[in-house]
Amino acid sequence: MTTLSTPKTDGILSRQIAFAAAFLLPTAKLLEAPSILAKDAAGDLLFPALLHFLVQAGVLFAVLVAASRSEKPLLTRLQEKLGRGTIVLYILYGAYFVFAALLPLLDLEKYTYAVFFDTSPTVFSFVFFFFLAAFACTKGIKGIGRIADLCLFLFVFPFLALIVMSLTETDFSRLLPLFGTKFGDTMSAFTHATPYFSDAILLLPLVGNLRYEKGDTLKILGGYGVGAASTLLFLAVFFGIYGSIAPREHYAFSKIAQYFPALSTVGRIDLIFVYLLTAVLFFCTCLPLQYTVDLTCRMVGTERRTLFSALLCGALFVFVLYANRHYDFFHTLIRGHLGWIFWFVADMVPLFLLFLPKEREVKRG
Amino acid sequence: MGVTTLRENLQKNIAAVKQLLPSEDILTYEFETADGVSCAFVYVDGVVDKQLLGELVAKPLSNMNLQNEGGRYKNTLELIQNLVLPTELKEQKKLEDIGKEILNGNSLLLVDGYPSGVIVDAKSLPMRTITEPPTDVAVRGPREGFIEDIKTNMSLVRKRLKTPALRFETLRVGKQSDTAVAICWLEGTANADVKAEVKQKIQEIQIDSVPDSSYIAAFLTPRKHGIFHSLGKTEKPDVFAAKLSEGRVGILVDGSPIALTAPFLLMEDLQSGEDYFITPFIATIFRFLRLVAVFVAILLPALYLSAQIFKLHLFPLSLTLTIASSVRDIPLSPNLEMFVVLFLLEVLKEASIRMPKYVGMSLSVVGALVLGETAVSAGFLSTPAIIIVAFSGICMYTVPEFVETGSVLRWIFLIVAGSIGPFGIVLLGAFLLYYLVTADAFGTPVLAPFSPLIIHDLRDTVAKYDILRLKERPEVLRTNNRTRIRLPRKTSGQGGRS
């Protein structure tokens, strides 16, 4: 029989969660999501994205409201309430995070080969990413918080640099007329991009470890707002540059500044910023894997993460090796047929946290 | 069971001490008082000031009538204290303690008829004078450096911190070397937990000898095999005192001019003592320059190699063509060429540090001109590779404390870049960042104040704020006394124009 370990508050701060929302999560939306949104929504690509952000902000708000009802971390209360029944949730979310990691991993692999190599790399080149992932998985939630802090520097400067370099070539009139795309197509873009915008669930394990203080909701939602705003700005600039060919421009952030006039003289210095954003993207891709290992360790009642990290990363490497030949199939499968999983597990189930009873007033932080 | 304490018979006492310390550099000097009472000094040859001993102790004693005067005193210490010129004296009876005192450079005075000895401090240990440390040369600011004598080093610190709050606690480490290791801190400022952890770790050390502070550092470091150091190192008393004043705990080791400080933040390597003696704006520019230089030193050879093999777009077209024409006839692969040049740099560096100074100049000429120039003209190496590695080597020395770590990192990045190109560089960079953000030493994150972000502490990192804005000590050090500058309050009559 497995025994549940007492959930440990792993020293995460609301500021770090806000930074994760503002600077870590947006990178996942700057890779394939822009071309996917542009494919169906064309110049109206901002609307499905905005709709996603509003939905996710709503889910996040609900989670934060649940967290604000006690001084105890959410996961602790959940376990106290459900007892051994928490195992079911841990299994559900452990599996969900693995599922949620598949598409980003496949995208990351393709992106890596396209952006980092002029030559044709071996299929094993990508294996090294899993060393990083396995190492990250051995660190707890505290590590994610620290990385989120660091992303303030790793994300903001390269992102602004790329945007500034892109602005000279941007024609914002390409976004006009507003609502020029059929509603059905806009909603189709909204549906197809769902896996890239399921953010609230990626913040849930962090909020679950947070000792809530008054004002944290505003702080974290503010951080999410900054992330959303920067993504929308990026999408606008991206479509402003590429217009009708945007659906064919994959790996958006690696291409957005490539027409900056000075690059022909000084070389692709934009790649320095692209590489820095890639480091953030690596951290972002590791997130669901870290959560899976964390949940597994809670379930088994151990602090020894190395074995689970190695097993998970090894299995995912084998999957990527196999799936890269069937990239389009998996894209269609996950974004199309299995898209409901994101809605159900990531957006609906967390709402049940609102049913956790209020424990006592939270003091001002 | 052997003799463990002194007796009243002088010859037996001498024999007991000689039995305990049979080495031939342990000497005995016997003399008699005016009335024929036998006395003797036992000391280590070469570490005792014999003239001082003679003038202050032996000469007055030999002129005295000890039998008449001696009866008034209870023990040897009282006798000596009253009859000879004052010096640092201590009574000892146990042979084991006496042995330690003699080996530490003190002299033992034995008087016939007294069952105890007097330890006389008349040490004259050979030591070098206080000079500017070669590894930390300052254009502005103090130039004194620590030396190998712990007492001198302690006095250099005391000279700068004349406060009763400055505390030293000396521990003995090393079964054979019995080295003095002093923990220094400012009571009420340093974090008590850090001090306790340092003390506990030092007390737990089981080692035969401690030739240098790096041996102590190895025991204090939480990650034994890490390439990043977890303790601050300095040879300058002013820097050491400043760190103590900031709330850190210091460690001085007898026989080593390098003092250690804890906790350590990675940003400390980027700071130079000189930054505090120039304007904040200039200091910020210099720090930023050093930061960029370190990144260039570590990454430039790797980026050049990966650009050459995997990603030619990194270079502008004209540069690509220039490089292509330079490397066209080189028989070595880009990987091998870069390894050879970097290996040459490391060998030259090692050789120039260790070889006699008068050969150093010739080595520079041979290394830089003959080897480099000839290798290029012979078509063995390309000019860009030599320029890249040379520039990287120069950049590395902008932060001397980071040279060892930086050199290792440069090699690792080069190997990774040669294997999987820029992807490997980014991946390794991300890996190192993850490693560093989760690396804590003495409860302090080494990457602070960037991660975890401590906005207050950013004032003295890459940007150097004006000293008046550094009123509080760094938050990350968890000091008990945050305020370090108290500005006078402006009253209505002050500060206005008259």
Is B227 inside a domain boundary? yes
A119·B314 Cβ contact <8 A? no
Q: Which of B437, B464, B481 is the last residue of a domain?
A: B437
Report residue B90: phi and psi, to 5°: -155, 135
A136 chain-B contacts, CB cut-off 8 A: 434
Is B477 inside a domain boundary? no
**Separation of alpha carbons A265 and B401, rounded Å:** 36
Q: Residue A112: name the closest of A128, A101, A97 by CA.
A: A128
Residue A21 gets which letter from DSSP?
I
Between A143, A268, A282, which is nearest B313 by CB?
A268
Q: Residue B61: name the closest of B44, B76, B46, B43 by CA.
A: B76
**Separation of alpha carbons A163 and A237, rounded Å:** 7
Identify whether residues B284 and B168 lie together within a single domain: no
B314 chain-A contacts, CB cut-off 8 A: 267-268, 271
Write b or e for each residue in B120-150: b if 16 or more Cβ atoms lie within 10 A of its Cβ, otherwise e.
bbbbeeeeeebeebeebebeeebebbbbbbb
A145·B452 Cβ contact <8 A? yes
| Mean pLDDT, 10 residues at a time, chain B of 498 residues | 78 91 90 87 88 84 74 66 69 88 88 86 82 82 90 93 93 92 94 94 94 93 83 93 94 95 92 86 94 95 91 79 84 91 88 75 71 81 91 92 93 94 95 92 90 91 87 89 80 48
Beta strands in B350-473 (DSSP E): 440-441, 444-445
Virtual CA dihedral for B6, B11, B17, B19, nearest 10 degrees?
-120
CB contact set of B219 (below 8 Å; sequence gap of 6+) = B201, B202, B204, B205, B207
Cβ–Cβ under 8 Å, residues B160 and B238: yes
A117 vs A155, higher pLDDT: A155
Identify whether residues B424 and B314 lie together within a single domain: yes
| pLDDT recorded at residue B3 | 66
Q: What is the model's pTM?
A: 0.87
Summarised one tens digit per residue, pLDDT across range A226-281 is 999 999 999 999 999 998 899 999 999 999 988 888 887 778 888 999 999 999 99
Q: Which of B264, B290, B307 is the last residue of a domain?
A: B264
Cα of A132 to nearest chain B Cα, Å: 6
For A139, which residue in chain B has the nearest alpha carbon?
B438
For B419, which residue in chain A has the nearest alpha carbon?
A125
Cβ–Cβ under 8 Å, residues A169 and A270: no
Check if A344 contacts B (Cβ < 8 Å): no
CA B141 to chain centroid, in Å, comes to 19
**Separation of alpha carbons B133 and B216, rounded Å:** 21
Identify whether residues B281 and B425 lie together within a single domain: yes
DSSP output for B230-243: SSEEES-HHHHHHH
Distance (Å) of CA A125 to CA A121, A251, A320, B410, B452: 6, 19, 12, 21, 32
Place of tokens 């009559």: B493
Predicted confidence (pLDDT) at residue A355 exceeds the cutoff of 80: yes
Is B138 inside a domain boundary? no
| pLDDT recorded at residue B72 | 64
Beta strands in A28-180 (DSSP E): none
- DSSP lists the bridge partners of residue B454 as none
B310·A128 Cβ contact <8 A? no
User: What's the domain count of chain B?
Assistant: 3
* Domains of chain A (ranges, CATH numbers): 14-355 (1.20.1740.10)
Identify whether residues B26 and B113 lie together within a single domain: yes
One-letter amino acid of B45: D
Identify whether residues B110 and B16 lie together within a single domain: yes
Check if A152 contacts B (Cβ < 8 Å): yes
**Separation of alpha carbons B14 and A295, rounded Å:** 73
Query: With the C-alpha atoms ordered A143, A146, A148, A153, is the resulting torsion angle positive or negative?
Result: negative
B316·A145 Cβ contact <8 A? no
Place of tokens 């390269």: A158
Query: In 10 A of CB B397, how many CB atoms?
Result: 13
**Separation of alpha carbons A36 and A246, rounded Å:** 9
| pLDDT recorded at residue B122 | 82
Virtual CA dihedral for B417, B418, B419, B425, nearest 10 degrees?
0
Is B128 inside a domain boundary? no
Identify whether residues B159 and B85 lie together within a single domain: no
**Separation of alpha carbons B47 and A244, rounded Å:** 88
**Separation of alpha carbons A242 and A174, rounded Å:** 9
One-letter amino acid of A277: L
ipTM: 0.92
**The pair of three-digit structure tokens given for residue B345, joined into one six-digit string:** 């740099």
Is B405 inside a domain boundary? yes
B431·A135 Cβ contact <8 A? yes
For A141, which residue in chain B has the nearest alpha carbon?
B438
- Considering only the C-alpha atoms of chain A, give the largest distance between any 2 of them, rounded to a whole number of Å: 66
Identify whether residues B191 and B324 lie together within a single domain: no
Collapsing DSSP to helix, strand or coil, B172 comes out as strand
Identify whether residues B256 and B300 lie together within a single domain: no
Q: Residue B42: name the closest of B3, B114, B99, B113 by CA.
A: B99
A117·B311 Cβ contact <8 A? yes
**Separation of alpha carbons A85 and A88, rounded Å:** 6
Report residue B146: phi and psi, to 5°: -65, 155
| pLDDT recorded at residue A363 | 53
Report residue B200: phi and psi, to 5°: -60, -45
- DSSP lists the bridge partners of residue B91 as B118
Check if A16 contacts B (Cβ < 8 Å): yes
For B420, which residue in chain A has the nearest alpha carbon?
A125
**The pair of three-digit structure tokens given for residue B346, joined into one six-digit string:** 């490391």
Q: Which of B120, B138, B162 is the last residue of a domain?
A: B120
B317·A264 Cβ contact <8 A? yes
| pLDDT recorded at residue A105 | 95
Between B312, B313, B452, which is nearest A149 by CB?
B452
Check if B311 contacts A (Cβ < 8 Å): yes
Q: Most A CBs within 10 Å: which of B267, B311, B419, B453, as the mutation test of the A interface?
A: B453
Collapsing DSSP to helix, strand or coil, A59 comes out as helix
Task: State the number of CA atoms in the 13 A half-sphere of B15 facing the CB.
Answer: 8
Identify whether residues B353 and B433 lie together within a single domain: yes
Partner A, chain B 414-453, Cβ-Cβ below 8 Å? 420-427, 429-431, 433-435, 437-438, 445, 447, 450-453
**Separation of alpha carbons A309 and A137, rounded Å:** 6
Distance (Å) of CA A189 to CA A192, A232, A237, B417: 5, 15, 18, 39
A267·B319 Cβ contact <8 A? yes
| pLDDT recorded at residue A149 | 95
Cβ–Cβ under 8 Å, residues A35 and A323: no
**Separation of alpha carbons B237 and B146, rounded Å:** 6
The residue range of the domain holding B395 is 276-437
| pLDDT recorded at residue A224 | 97
Identify whether residues B190 and B332 lie together within a single domain: no
Predicted confidence (pLDDT) at residue A6 exceeds the cutoff of 60: no
B435 chain-A contacts, CB cut-off 8 A: 135
3-state secondary structure A196-251: HHCCHHHHHHHHHCCCCCECHHHHHHHHHHHHHHHHHHHHHHHHHHHHHHHHHCCC
A278 chain-B contacts, CB cut-off 8 A: 426
Distance (Å) of CA B303 to CA A50, B153, B167, B342, B423: 39, 44, 49, 14, 10
For A137, which residue in chain B has the nearest alpha carbon?
B434
Partner B, chain A 275-304, Cβ-Cβ below 8 Å? 275, 278-279, 282-283
B450 chain-A contacts, CB cut-off 8 A: 149-150, 153
Is B1 inside a domain boundary? no
One-letter amino acid of B300: L
B431·A279 Cβ contact <8 A? no
Is B427 inside a domain boundary? yes
Identify whether residues B252 and B300 lie together within a single domain: no
Q: Angle CA(B82)–CA(B85)–CA(B87) in degrees, nearest 5?
A: 100
B430 chain-A contacts, CB cut-off 8 A: 132, 279, 282-283
Between A16, A142, A267, which is nearest B314 by CB?
A267
A282 chain-B contacts, CB cut-off 8 A: 426-427, 430
Is B498 inside a domain boundary? no
**Separation of alpha carbons A12 and A210, rounded Å:** 6
Cβ–Cβ under 8 Å, residues A296 and A89: no
| pLDDT recorded at residue B63 | 82
Identify whether residues B395 and B308 lie together within a single domain: yes
Residue B479 gets which letter from DSSP?
-
